[in-house]
């Protein structure tokens, strides 16, 4: 196990830290679609993803979602760091997109780790920095990009992240993620299909030339 940690989280160079993880933390597995965290819920442990993928987003009263970021193997959740440090409830919702395995770190350990282990401290800072930069791109895209451009970059990113040529997801899902309506997505997809950028099918979008 200690080897796996070193492999997936090479940043944890302190031997003692790795030992703490194996001794004090538990491995948890969830299946695709499971909600790991609801908005307003207290954060009692933070996840370090070892396998799979988790979507982190905000949700309003009408069920509209604002996508924030994905958690992938080797990553921890910036929001949960923030919550443990300020003892706040979660401002985000997290759902496993695939069967996911993660190390569950009890929050009680965090303050200690922050002061004791330099490599942990750096991991947290780097996680923050990476997310912050990523989050800046969201207001940019809303302010400066039209819907069709946002759709195209969404498709690009999805096919990269999922490592697949053919995206298997309904238009409605894309609409939720981009905060628009299903009809708009359908129409735009139809348009870019005509322009030869994608080929469409039921539950199937194949980028041809983005």
Partner DNA sequence: ACATTAAGTGATT
Partner DNA sequence: AATCACTTAATGT
Q: Which is nearer to DNA, 130 or 142 (CB)?
A: 142
Q: State the Cα–Cα distance between residues 180 and 33, nearest whole angstrom.
A: 22
Question: Which of 74, 186, 197, 206 touches DNA (CB under 7 A)?
Answer: 186
Segment (H or E) for 93: strand 93-96
170 part of the interface to DNA, by CB under 7 A: yes
Provide CB contacts within 8 A for 202, sequence distance 6+.
none
Q: State the Cα–Cα distance between residues 171 and 146, nearest whole angstrom.
A: 18
Q: Which stretch binds DNA (CB under 7 A): 35-43, 86-94, 131-139, 202-210?
A: 202-210
| DSSP-based three-state secondary structure for 10 | coil
53 part of the interface to DNA, by CB under 7 A: no
Question: Which of 148, 154, 159, 197 touches DNA (CB under 7 A)?
Answer: 148
- Per-residue x/- marks for DNA, 103-142, CB under 7 A? ----------------------------------------
Provide CB contacts within 8 A for 44, sequence distance 6+.
106, 107
Binding site for DNA (CB under 7 A): 146-148, 170-172, 179-184, 186-190, 200-204
């Amino acid at each position: 196990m200690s080897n796996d940690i070193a492999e997936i989280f090479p940043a944890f160079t302190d031997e003692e830290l790795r030992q703490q993880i194996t001794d004090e933390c538990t491995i948890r597995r969830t299946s695709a679609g499971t909600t790991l965290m609801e908005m307003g819920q207290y954060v009692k442990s933070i996840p370090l993803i070892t396998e799979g993928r988790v979507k982190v987003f905000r949700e309003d009263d009408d069920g509209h979602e604002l996508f924030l970021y994905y958690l992938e193997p080797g990553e921890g959740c910036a929001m949960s760091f923030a919550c443990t440090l300020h003892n706040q409830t979660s401002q985000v919702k997290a759902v496993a997109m695939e069967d996911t395995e993660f190390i569950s770190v009890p929050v009680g350990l965090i303050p200690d780790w922050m002061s004791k282990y330099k490599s942990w401290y750096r991991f947290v800072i780097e996680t923050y920095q990476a997310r912050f930069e990523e989050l800046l791109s969201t207001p940019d895209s809303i302010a400066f990009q039209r819907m069709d451009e946002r759709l195209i970059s969404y498709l690009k990113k999805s096919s990269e992240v999922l490592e697949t040529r053919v995206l298997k997801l309904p238009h409605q899902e894309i609409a939720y993620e981009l905060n628009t309506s299903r009809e708009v997505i359908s129409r735009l997809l139809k348009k870019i299909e005509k322009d030869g950028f994608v080929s469409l099918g039921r539950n199937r979008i194949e980028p041809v030339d983005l």
